[in-house]
Amino acid sequence: MSEILILNESNYAQATASGTVAVDFYADWCGPCKMMAPTFDQAKDDYAGRVTFAKLNVDEAKTIALENKVLGIPTLIFYKDGQIADRVTGVVDKATLYAKLDALL
């Protein structure tokens, strides 16, 4: 099983610079974020070796959240070689998440 990378101000740019990366913008107090977590965690295992999965706490990295125009959480942003390729805000089901990931591979 692969791990979910925890992003912050110091490692965000490097972590999203290459490859396919799915970043979950969340907050500890956010109920919908907690609902999204098991689906994101399962995707991490199912796409191990093909997609890097990361989480960014918007309360701890406000600047990055603002730069990425994250206005609601959870927001998933999908990066492909350093560029935003797709995004979705709110809780999404497994089929929707996997379709977005498959489109990037």
Domain positions in the chain are 5-104
Phi, psi of 73 (to 5 degrees): -130, 150
The 3-state DSSP composition of the chain as helix, strand, coil percent (nearest 5) reads: 35, 30, 35
Q: How far apart are CA 84 and CA 45, in angstroms?
A: 22
Q: Which segments in the chain show pLDDT lower than 50?
A: none
| Catalytic, out of 7, 15, 33, 58 | 33
Q: How far apart are CA 57 and CA 24, in angstroms?
A: 8
Catalytic status, residue 22: no
Share of residues in the chain with pLDDT > 70 (%): 99
Could you tell me the sign of the dihedral formed by the alpha carbons of 12, 46, 97, 84, in that order?
positive
pLDDT on residue 2: 73
Catalytic status, residue 104: no
- Token pair 């990425």 is found at 68
| Catalytic, out of 15, 21, 30, 54 | 30
pLDDT on residue 1: 58
Which residues, at least 6 apart from 23, have a Cβ–Cβ distance to it below 8 Å?
7, 16, 54, 55, 56, 76, 77, 78, 79
| 5-104: CATH class | alpha beta
